Amino acid sequence: MVLAVAIALGGCDGSGPAANGPLRSGSPVPLSSNCAPDGRSVAFGFEQFTNYGHVTVTLDRVLLLHPHNQHLIGSYAVPGAVLVGVVYWPPRYPGMPSTWKHRQRVHGFRLAPGKTFNMVLGVAPIDESRRATSQGMLVYYHDPSGRYVAKDHSANIIAAKAHQCD
C-alpha cells in the first residue's frame, strides 16, 4: 500500500513540468517556420504566448526545441500583442514596436491572467557556412500550483545561403 501511494505521488513531486499549464502559444502544432537568409545571428520574434489561467505565471527559462547547428544568445519577453518580427540580432530598426522598450529578460518575467507577450529569441548559428534549424521552443514557467512547459512548434531557420529558405 505504501509503495502504491509513493508511486502515485511520484508524478506530483515536481520531478518534471506538466505540459497542460495555462500558458499557450500561437503555434501549438508544426505549421510554420521563420527563415533568415545569410548565416548571421537573428532575432526570431514572431511568437506570442497568452496566460489563459486565473493567476500570474512566472517564466523560468526558454530553450530551443531540437536545435541543429544553432544556439540561443539571448531571449526577451516583450509585453503586449505586437510582434518584433525576424531581424538581425540585436533587434534595432526604424519603426521598432514601442513595446520593445518594456522588454524583460525571460527569467523572472511575470505575466498576469489574460495577458499576452511576444517571445523574442536571439539565435546564432554554430557554423555560419551551414544551415541551422530548430523545431520551435520550450518555455518553462511556474505559478502557485505547479511547474509547466509550453511548447511552440514554429521552426527557426538560419540559412547559410538565400536559396536554403525556399
d(CA 83, CA 85): 5
7 falls within a domain: no
pLDDT at 30 (0 to 100):
57
Residues in the chain: 166
| pLDDT above 90: residue 133 | yes
13 falls within a domain: no
d(CA 78, CA 155): 20
48 falls within a domain: yes
Number of domains in the chain: 1
8 falls within a domain: no
For residue range 39-89, what is the model confidence (pLDDT) as tens digits? Answer: 899 999 999 999 999 999 999 999 999 999 999 999 999 999 999 999 999
Output the domain CATH number for residue 153.
2.60.40.10
Range of the domain at 55: 18-165
pLDDT at 64 (0 to 100):
98
Q: What is the DSSP letter of 77?
A: E
pLDDT at 31 (0 to 100):
58
Q: What is the DSSP letter of 91?
A: P
pTM: 0.86
132: its cell numbers = 541551422
pLDDT at 27 (0 to 100):
57
75 falls within a domain: yes
25 falls within a domain: yes
Strand order in the sheet with 132-134: 33-36, 155-158, 132-134
pLDDT at 121 (0 to 100):
98
